[in-house]
Amino acid sequence: MQIGVETSRAVENRRVFVVSNDEITRSILQFILHDENETHDLPSLQAAYEKAVDWKPDLLLLGLEVVEAQGAAVFSEIAGKMPDAKIMLIAGAGQDAHAQTYLNSGAHSVLTKPLTVESVRKKVNIVLGRGTNQMVQLSIMPAKKG
């Protein structure tokens, strides 16, 4: 089911890998993004590296906990194995400032919880270089009587 999907994006083949230790977060992001992107839910960076051999990602959504476990050097490792992929960190509520410190190390953006369909799609589209269409709210005026 496609909810609020622009037709041109539904047929455009952009590949997104979602890597996090949190299975629920991976599932939510895969669900939100699968209508507009070829989205893969992967439990580890090693699984992402293996998949990237044949399926190069355009974007890697990476859980902040993965970076914290492996250190900032993980960005160099990712760049070596997935050189064209942009990296967006997934940060929990209250972790945004901490995640921002990795922007100078190789991350391109931060996606902060709570995750909503609109916010996730908008940030992903921006990082993928897609313009975001601004919706214009129309108000219907009641017809004049008489």
CA 124 remoteness from chain centre:
5
SS3 48: helix
Give Cβ neighbours of residue 68 (< 8 Å, ≥ 6 apart): none
The burial of 116, by beta-carbon neighbours within 10 Å (0-12 exposed, 13-18 middle, 19 or more buried), is given as exposed
Return the domain boundaries, the chain: 7-127
Matching residue, tokens 């083949």 = 13
Tell me the CATH number of domain 7-127, given options 3.40.50.150, 3.20.20.80, 3.40.50.2300, 3.30.465.10.
3.40.50.2300
* pTM listed for this prediction: 0.81
Q: What is the pLDDT along the chain (146 residues), one digit of tens a residue?
A: 444 445 444 446 799 999 999 999 999 999 999 999 999 999 999 999 999 999 999 999 999 999 999 999 999 999 999 999 999 999 998 898 889 999 999 999 999 999 999 999 999 999 999 875 544 444 444 555 55
E strands, 9-138, are: 15-19, 38-42, 59-63, 86-91, 109-112
